[in-house]
Copies of this chain bind each other. A is one copy, B any other.
Amino acid sequence: MTELEAVVARVDERVAPDAAERERLAAAVDELRTRVERAVEAELPSEVAAGTDVLQVGSTARGTWLAGDRDIDLFVRFPADVDRAALERYGLVVGRAVLPEGHEEYAEHPYVTGTFEGFDVDLVPCYDVEDASQTRSAVDRTPFHNAYLTERITPALARDVRVFKRLLKAVGAYGSNLRTRGFSGYLTELLVVEYGGVVPLLEAAADWQPPVTFDPEAHGTRDHDDPLVVVDPTDPARNVAAVCSAANVARLQHYARDVVDDPRTELFFRGEPAPLDEQAVRDHLERRGTTPLAVRFEAPDLVDDQLYPQLRKSLNGLGSELDRLGFGVLRAEACADDHAVLLFEVESATLPAVERHEGPPVHVRSHAEGFFEAYVDDEGVYGPFIDDDRYVVERSREWTVARVFLESDAVFDVALGKHVESVLEEGYEVLAGAEVATLAEEFGVELRTYFEPQP
């Protein structure tokens, strides 16, 4: 056994669910399945009930879950001729009967979520369709994914999936939610199956040359502009890794090299960083000599998959504008809890009153004359003068203080996330310099990650 194989085995000792956990889980699933079947019989019209079944899906269905991840996913699969409104109604009726203490959540359609004997249970209605390309909503694909993997995930591969997931979690690259933009559970299992194990997967990932493409069923029908492409074995048009960011692909490559070069278990168990306190933030700012500016506002009431794309769009919009205005953004980050924060660290907090504005080459006569006429009588500009073959003026800068720009209505001229924009219109606060350290109270962990960045 190689050193890396030994590390994989040791990691799995810590993450494999033990027999007791597996038995408790199996018992809970049996009981829930029985309850669902009873509720279907009891609550639904008999012609619907006759065509409806219940499926356990997800990692707990395939033995690929990590000890302590207590998610049970049960899909109630309805005949395709049930209309959507009815499906939603039936789904909730069954869900409430099975989990009377549960509550409704809403993805593409509503489902019931609750706890049962210590497990977190999702009861999700879906359609029974011919194949995965016929799906009417994203959840209809799940039974196909489950069937595909169930056939292929041997106990040995299940172990390797667990170890691979553990590494991705440790380095912050696990999860296809739009906050993380990492590797989904389905994607990790497909990659382990593709390579026949986590060791060959990590050895290969260390040398990937993105874009990297896999098409296990050799049926892909489209080009994808993504660094990692894994054509869905159940849907030729879909890239399972579409959401996975370039940074997370690079992150996997980095840690794959690290663990292959120097196999050790610690890498798999890096915990969440400890929060940074105010004094430590102030020390970093003093050492860095930058001007941090934080736009702080009430977090919009959105699920993370809606919130984070909007925060990112707002961060990019304001960051690009600060750059364009000449303040020089060294780094920027968004985070959210009760408040949301857009943090920009700029190189110059203030700028001169004038900025260079290049006109056209003098020989491009009509443009050049227009430029010259526009400025020749303007007392507020220096020039027009000639530099090389062009007219140039030095005109007043619109914004000389970054903070003043962020406090102005000009922020609304920038492309912001829609709900972020609405919330900002209600009011926000701009913190500058050492004031930013007060964010440590709410965002100590995020500030640790920001000021002590790791791959």
Contact = CB atoms under 8 A, between A and B. Distances in A.
Nearest to A355: B330
Contact of A288 (B209, B354, B390): B354
A161 interface: no
Contacts of A452: 382
A386 B210 CA distance: 15
A455 B385 contact: yes
Contact of A352 (B250, B251, B253, B347): B347
A455 B386 contact: yes
A207 interface: yes
Contact of A247 (B207, B383, B386): B386
B210 A363 contact: yes
A210 B388 CA distance: 12
Interface string A195-213: 0000000000011111000
Interface residues of A, number: 53
A22 interface: no
Given A347-B352, A365-B206, A394-B331, A386 B290 contact: no
A77 to B, nearest CB: 40
B390 A451 contact: no
A454 B385 CA distance: 5
A387 interface: yes
Interface in A38-58: none
A246 B389 contact: yes
A246 B454 CA distance: 50
A391 B455 contact: yes
A389 B289 contact: no
B257 A363 contact: no
A455 to B, nearest CB: 5
B387 A247 contact: yes
A219 interface: no
Contact of A347 (B330, B348, B361, B385): B348
A351 interface: yes
B289 A361 contact: no
A254 B362 contact: yes
Contacts of A253: 362-363
A288 B210 contact: no
Contacts of A274: none
A314 interface: no
A17 interface: no
Contacts of A353: 287-289
Contacts of A247: 386-389
A103 interface: no
A337 B25 CA distance: 91
A354 to B, nearest CB: 5
B348 A289 contact: no
A227 interface: yes
Given A363-B253, A389-B249, A352 B455 contact: no
Contacts of A391: 455
A391 to B, nearest CB: 7
A451 B385 CA distance: 11
Contacts of A289: 351-354, 400
A250 B361 contact: yes
A210 B365 CA distance: 12
A382 B452 CA distance: 7
A384 interface: yes
A287 B287 CA distance: 32
Given A249-B389, A257-B369, 11 more contacts: A227-B389, A247-B387, A254-B372, A287-B354, A330-B394, A331-B356, A347-B348, A385-B453, A385-B454, A385-B455, A391-B455
10 contacts: A250-B388, A253-B362, A253-B363, A288-B353, A288-B354, A326-B328, A331-B394, A347-B352, A385-B453, A386-B455
Interface of A: 206-210, 227, 246-247, 249-251, 253-254, 257, 287-290, 326, 328, 330-331, 347-348, 351-356, 361-363, 365, 369, 372, 382-391, 394, 400, 451-455
Which 3 A-B pairs rank lowest in CB-CB distance, beginning with the nearest? A385-B453, A289-B353, A250-B362
